[in-house]
Amino acid sequence: MGSDLAEKINRRRTFAIISHPDAGKTTLTEKFLLYGGQLNTAGSVKGKATAKHAVSDWMDIEKERGISVTSSVLQFEYGDKCINILDTPGHQDFSEDTYRTLMAADNAVMVIDAAKGVEPQTRKLFKVVARRGIPVFTFFNKMDRDALDSFELIDQVEHELGIETTAVTWPIGSGREFKGVYDRNKREVVLFSDTQKGTKEGTEEFIPIEDRDRLVEVLGEERYEMLMSETELLDGASAEYDQDAVSHGKLSPVFFGSALTNFGVESFLQYFLDMTTSPLPRMSDQGIIDPVERPFSAFVFKIQANMNKAHRDRVAFMRICSGRFTAGMDVWHVQGGKQVRLSQPQQMMADDRHMVEEAYAGDIIGIFDPGIYSIGDTLCMPEDKFRYGGIPTFAPEHFARVRQVDTMKRKQFVKGIMQIAQEGAIQIFEEPQGGMEEVIVGVVGVLQFEVLKYRLNNEYNVDIRMEQLPYEYIRWIKNEDVDLDAVTGTSDMKKIRDLKGNPLLLFVNSWSVGMTLDRNEGLILEEFNENE
């Protein structure tokens, strides 16, 4: 059993794709699935030739707005590997969801539009990756359109994101002049042919860099000379490939291509699989948990309610960290302090879900949640009883007072807002004297307010009124047994509690935080609530 288990776990690669909303992430994901045999033509799942919207977007609001606001998980086989892709929201207002998804991934692929370079949202998303310190691979997409200078693109990644790069492939021209890429590792030019649109076929020609005559014939003298001088520059300026630096998130291997025309995608996938490792050990309160040596364990990184309108269900997504999972097994829910049966396990392909009988370390599964799981919960075998580190909560930056329009629907309002809060998209706070008739909602990005309003109306039939509040800074009070009434602060300060009863302070101005600390000797304030 041992060697068979090790072999199954070692085959697995689990990565998240991050990008700015229109950089072409969905197209790239679809091309991966095409190579993995999951799609016949990009953009339609096998057997659903009419379904043309992207396979990884499913929520109505996403289809309306054309953005991914939730993370979905797709699994496919390629060669001897089993690959789990976690799709993340591209919108910066959902950076917290991206962070949680990255907690479940072993690697990240950053997709950048070569015509636009590093955009503000890319920066914010990258900071999220940097906090994890996981390997990052950069794919410059849309080379079939006029792109920025390739050296400038690499420069932007290094300066804006503070990570060294090493070019694995290098483009020859862009837009109409896009001829192909030079593979620095194999020392050969891969020529691009336009016949590859939407299919795996099409002709690629591989020419060794030493074959000057053939290269001059296909590229022309001028472009050939340019390629030679650029590669010489690269050899001098680009960092050497160093697997250890890549593994620690200090060096990003860079690739160029076009997901839409399918060029450079497969070689990127092949290199990616060579340069990444199988699922890594994770830290717990009992030390390192080895994925192969230890029996089943997992942690919940995402909860999604009402994925299926017909069922009004709630699914807890978990990343398996060690061992083997089998459907219906009994495990220990550490935070709940009791044994639970993992029922109705499923894997996702957008709207299409299938039940899984077994899964292994590195895989992501969704489990039916009767309302007992929270983000960051650990599940393990009853005899083990260890826990993985919690997932820190981002400090909200926008606040609003929310109340229901129809007071007769209080029950639905409380149920809806609590369930959405348990998914981690919003945080709910109460004023010390207030009840649940109205609550203060905190979010990382304002678009979350729109999603909240839409979902309460759509899924719980509740209309809400929202009044934006001026607060921008939140601090958890870390002192034990603090008397909230006795804390003296500034006029722009508000005292609230979170749903677990922890006391917090909200401020309009950042300088008020310092003044409040000065006025209350011994008060300890923290921006993150780490003790989840």
Q: How confident is the model at residue 490 (pLDDT cuts 50, 70, 90)?
A: confident
Q: Tell me, which fold does domain 398-526 have in CATH?
A: Alpha-Beta Plaits (3.30.70)
Reported as a single tens digit per residue, the pLDDT across 285-298 is 999 999 999 999 99
List the structure tokens of 311.
């069922």
Please list the residue range(s) of the chain that carry CATH number 3.30.70.3280. 398-526
- With beta carbons less than 8 A apart as the criterion, state whether 374 and 323 touch: no
Report the distance separating Cα 298 and Cα 103, nearest Å: 12
- Enumerate residues 6+ apart whose C-beta is below 8 A from 337: none
pLDDT of residue 69: 37
pLDDT of residue 173: 86
- With beta carbons less than 8 A apart as the criterion, state whether 473 and 493 touch: no
CA distance to 99, 134, 275, 529, per residue, from 245 (Å): 22, 10, 11, 31
pLDDT of residue 393: 67
Report the distance separating Cα 501 and Cα 493, nearest Å: 18
Please list the residue range(s) of the chain that carry CATH number 3.40.50.300. 2-275
Report the distance separating Cα 331 and Cα 325, nearest Å: 10
At 85 the three-state DSSP class reads strand
pLDDT of residue 333: 94
97: nearest Cα among 303, 248, 283: 303
CA distance to 283, 334, 373, 387, 447, per residue, from 286 (Å): 8, 13, 22, 8, 39
88: nearest Cα among 117, 116, 62: 62
465: nearest Cα among 437, 487, 493: 437
Q: How confident is the model at residue 59 (pLDDT cuts 50, 70, 90)?
A: very low
At 338 the three-state DSSP class reads strand
Q: Tell me, which fold does domain 282-380 have in CATH?
A: Elongation Factor Tu (Ef-tu); domain 3 (2.40.30)
Report the distance separating Cα 276 and Cα 137, nearest Å: 10
List the structure tokens of 219.
């590229």
Spell out the SS3 assignment of 180-191. Answer: EEEECCCCEEEE
Assess whether pLDDT exceeds 90 at residue 13.
Answer: yes
Reported as a single tens digit per residue, the pLDDT across 352-406 is 566 778 899 999 888 888 878 888 899 999 998 898 987 766 678 889 999 888 8
pLDDT of residue 92: 54
* Mean per-residue pLDDT over the chain, rounded: 81
pLDDT of residue 392: 67
Report the distance separating Cα 1 and Cα 184, nearest Å: 41
Burial class from Cβ neighbours inside 10 Å (0-12, 13-18, 19+) for residue 143 reads buried
Average pLDDT over residues 140-161: 90
137: nearest Cα among 169, 115, 159: 169
Packed helices 221-237 and 150-161: angle between N→C axes, nearest 10 degrees: 20
Assess whether pLDDT exceeds 90 at residue 140.
Answer: yes
Helix (H) or strand (E) holding 255: strand 251-256
382-387, Cβ contacts within 8 angstroms, sequence gap of 24 or more: 382/330, 382/331, 382/332, 382/339, 384/286, 384/294, 384/295, 384/297, 384/332, 385/332, 385/334, 386/284, 386/285, 386/286, 386/289, 386/297, 386/334, 387/284, 387/285, 387/334, 387/335
Q: Tell me, which fold does domain 2-275 have in CATH?
A: Rossmann fold (3.40.50)
Report the distance separating Cα 50 and Cα 46, nearest Å: 10
195: nearest Cα among 205, 186, 206, 181: 205
pLDDT of residue 485: 82
pLDDT of residue 57: 46
Assess whether pLDDT exceeds 70 at residue 479.
Answer: yes
Question: Bigger pLDDT: 73 or 494?
Answer: 494
List the structure tokens of 406.
């129809």
Q: Give the least confident one: 25-34, 191-200, 445-454.
A: 191-200
